[in-house]
A and B are shown apart, each in its own frame.
Chain A
């Protein structure tokens, strides 16, 4: 469905080295432009990413970034409410948008010769939205139903919200992207417009055009449609309250009768990819795979699902695609008859063993090969490539960082992985959550 919330738990995969097919430039008003060529099919993906997300929202207005994203499909001075999507559809295309902690993005996928029309409409709604009070009323109900569907009806999502709120006590990553329900209910037209007027500006935006296009033609069109929009002079610097040092493990038990399978997760604060500094992040990608990637070959999978029947599921994940601190997590769903305490103890034993024991060189080499292969497979999905550039550029990285990433992955050594494991897998900097259907299950 449209207007998705990008998952905060996106895992890393390798980024392809496509330097020769990527062209970038900056318009005079500060808007960055990225063109990714793929001439296999006459299709284009047109995206505008704003460097503004839920973690930039004012206190008390959680969800306004996502709410505004919905409202951008309403009327402007040139388009009637709904006309944007209707026009895209009438031209055989599809459109959508998504909001994350760090960005809000809009895109259309359409025949390449319709690119000027897309730019005309997208540039129009950057500055000329005309939302009414009636729109606010209806669309607020839509986002509340969206919250119902994604969160309130899902015990796993409710638990995750609690765990994330415990993880980030000072940083806005602790507040859900879709918003807290009681604050969503109070979101006003003014809340949305304040956000829109300040942050929807060319000098806070990135244009990405991917597909069957020529960079010079895209540049001319971008100048024509986006280049004429004045820069926002009062755009504030992107400063967010950061987390203080965490000094003790935080533990939560979430009880919900709708849970069928009890499970536990442990989420550690972890470094994110930073511009020019991606080595630790690359090592964490390996760590996630080695600890809990494939159930057949990872440490947790082998120990808990093969050597013993402790778990029906185990896994690990690293989310380093963030402007600020990310997380590294492990999770285990115990087998029938195994308690959560036993499962957690077994999980901790696997982690301790992993840190103490050498890494199998063949397994390391296999991962290196897989990351190299994923660069080749990624070339088949130009929209995926576009999203990687968009996410990176709105989260403090540069084109160069994106293009350096595959090599960063190839360069990771056993020592790098051991060092980052020792640093990150520290329970004093973690949230441990149990998800159960009853208190009796929490043992």
Chain B
């Protein structure tokens, strides 16, 4: 019986001549996986993603998906939490189960010699979770400790306010952890409901890299994931970024103020995304070459680090940044940040900046493919946002195709210094 369809796609990461051969395989029940066969080290990295995530929490049940996902490793089938973990340890494998706003993320790493036993354990965890009451209570206490800790963390206080102000009652407006009240009210039935709604296979993505063949993955996909429910609830509506420009100070007794700032962003599938991506690299990207790093840290010594980020989520998009500076100097750091933002919006970037950023981005890209787990993670991420395997080959061409006019048009269109809202947590001097 043919259990899978295999499409081989030869893909080359061009600029340094490094071949990554991505094979696509589709199971009989329609589950698709991308596979890179790399047998030189006898282990496999497996990544699974499901669209939906904690944003599918039911009304009054905020935190249910997060708590449920933390309980997946706490007992399933005929094993309680300790039996399950003892078995996993003995097989020298590791699992990770994480809930995000719009995604459920499952990672596994296992030796070739233990592959079958580990995958049987993974299947059991996903399809036969127990949600024992003692496990719920134990993990609930850990989640509650985390929520209490966030309430005294300057960074989490800032992001909590920022998200609420930007997204209101949309799930993006609140933490996936839930509140002390909502988490305390969660029941065992809520855990089963959350699993039923979020661990589904209608939008499931799989990648595997290592000592395994595409045929072998094709053979096991239906066994591993075919028994998951086909469909979950409908996806959420999109939401506008609703925070207007301005400044909010949240007093907190600590020596260094932290500032989270941002405004509306750009969608990942927008034609101008690559121009915006290059622009953000110049504005506040990784490393030491960005305008913000240069002006706020290198020239003035106002901070240890400042970054900006494009955040294209599935239902909203924002352009944000963060900086921390002593209470006496945070006002200046914010002013310099506003000035950099304004200057880029008004005057754009230089040809030199564009050229050196392109060289960095195109040179850095192939270096990401340097480990089984890294490649698996990149591939499943591409699938999530609808990119084809050929993207690996073409991506640097997309970067190269961006012109100075593109970047400067996008800077004028998308950077709005007056729309920036700064949320400052600390005892800032000279900020009202």
A147–B13 CA distance with the chains assembled, in angstroms = 41
Which of A128-167 touch B at CB < 8 Å? 137-146, 148-149, 152-153
Is B301 engaged at the interface, CB distance under 8 Å to the other chain?
yes
Are A258 and B254 CB-contacts (below 8 A) given A40-B370, A93-B364, A140-B301? yes
Q: Judge whether B1 is part of the interface by a CB distance below 8 angstroms.
A: no
Near B by CB (< 8 A), chain A positions 70-100 give: 73, 81-82, 85-86, 89-94
Q: How far is the CA of A274 from the CA of B27 in the complex (A)?
A: 53
CB neighbours of A152 from chain B (8 A): 254-256
Q: Is A25 an interface residue (CB 8 A)?
A: no
Could you tell me how many residues of chain A have their Cβ less than 8 Å away from some Cβ of chain B? 68
Bitwise, A232-261 to B at CB < 8 A (1) or not (0) is: 000000000000000000000000011111
Complex CA gap A33/B280 in Å reads 39
Q: Are A90 and B154 in contact (CB under 8 A)?
A: no
List A residues 362-418 near B (Cβ within 8 Å): 362, 365-367, 369-370, 372-374, 376-377, 379-382
Q: In the complex, what residues of B have CB within 8 A of residue A153's CB?
A: 154, 254-256, 258, 324
**A111-B149 in contact given A145-B304, A153-B154, A296-B86 (Cβ < 8 Å):** no
B301 close to A373 (CB less than 8 A):
no
Given A2-B288, A90-B360, A260-B151, A381 contacting B371 (CB threshold 8 A):
yes
B232 CB–A CB distance under 8 Å: no
Spot the interface stretch: B39-47, B120-128, B167-175. Answer: B39-47
B13 to chain A, nearest CB (A): 9
> What residues of chain A lie closer than 8 Å to B152, measured between beta carbons?
258-260
Nearest A residue to B111, CB-CB: A373
Against A, the Cβ 8 Å flags (1 = close, 0 = not) of B126-170 are: 000000000001100110010011011010000000000000000
What's the minimum C-beta distance from B209 to chain A, rounded to whole angstroms?
Answer: 10
Residues of B within 8 A of A297 (CB): 82, 85-86, 89
**CB-contact partner of A380 in B41, B111, B255, under 8 A:** B41
Q: Does B230 reach chain A (CB closer than 8 Å)? A: no
Give chain A nearest CB distance to B15 CB in angstroms: 8
| Interface-side segment among A48-56, A196-204, A306-314 | A306-314
Q: Quick check: B142 and A313 within 8 Å, CB to CB?
A: yes
Query: Does B149 lie within 8 Å of A261, measured CB to CB?
Result: yes
**Cross-chain contact A138 with B299 (CB below 8 angstroms):** yes
Quick check: B92 and A373 within 8 Å, CB to CB?
Answer: yes
Closest residue of chain A to B364, judged by CB? A92
Q: Does A335 contact B (CB under 8 A)?
A: yes
Q: Which A-chain residue is minimally distant from B148 (CB atoms)?
A: A260
Q: Which residues of A contact B371 (CB under 8 A)?
A: 380-381
From residue A410, how far is it (CB to closest CB) to chain B in Å?
Answer: 13
Give Cα distance in the complex from A82 to B209, angstroms.
38
Contact of A382 among B362, B370, B372 (CB under 8 A): B370
Once bound together, how far apart are the Cα atoms of A149 and B152, in whole Å?
Answer: 15
Q: Report if B185 contacts A (CB, 8 A).
A: no
Report if B97 contacts A (CB, 8 A): no
**Neighbouring A residues of B141 by C-beta, 8 Å:** 309, 312, 335-336
Whether B89 pairs with A111 at a CB distance below 8 angstroms is: no
Contact A141 B302 (CB under 8 A): yes
CB of B2 closer than 8 Å to a CB of A: no
Given the known inter-chain contacts A86-B356, A258-B152, A312-B141, please indicate yes or no for A145 contacting B89, CB distance below 8 A: no
Q: Are B372 and A92 in contact (CB under 8 A)?
A: no
**Nearest B residue (CB) for A372:** B92
**Least Cβ distance of B357 to chain A in Å?**
8
**Chain A residue, CB-CB nearest to B45:** A380
Residues of chain B within 8 A (CB-CB) of A309 are: 137-138, 141
What per-residue 1/0 map shows which CB atoms of B9-34 lie under 8 Å from chain A?
A: 00000011110000000000000000
Proximity string of chain B (90-117) to chain A, C-beta cutoff 8 Å, 1 when within and 0 when not = 1110000000000000000101000000
With both beta carbons as reference points, the residue of chain A lying nearest to B258 in the complex is identified as A153
A118 → chain B closest CB, angstroms = 13
User: 22 A-B residue contacts at CB 8 Å?
Assistant: A1-B305, A40-B370, A41-B370, A42-B366, A92-B360, A93-B363, A93-B364, A94-B287, A137-B301, A141-B300, A142-B297, A145-B325, A149-B256, A149-B324, A152-B255, A153-B154, A260-B148, A260-B149, A367-B89, A373-B92, A379-B41, A380-B371
List of 10 A-B pairs having minimum Cβ-Cβ separation, nearest first? A92-B363, A141-B301, A373-B92, A296-B85, A148-B256, A138-B301, A146-B304, A260-B149, A260-B152, A41-B370
Given contacts A85-B289, A258-B152, A380-B45, 19 further A-B contacts (CB under 8 A): A40-B370, A41-B370, A82-B298, A90-B360, A92-B367, A93-B364, A94-B364, A109-B367, A140-B301, A148-B256, A260-B145, A260-B149, A260-B151, A336-B141, A370-B92, A373-B92, A377-B43, A380-B41, A380-B43
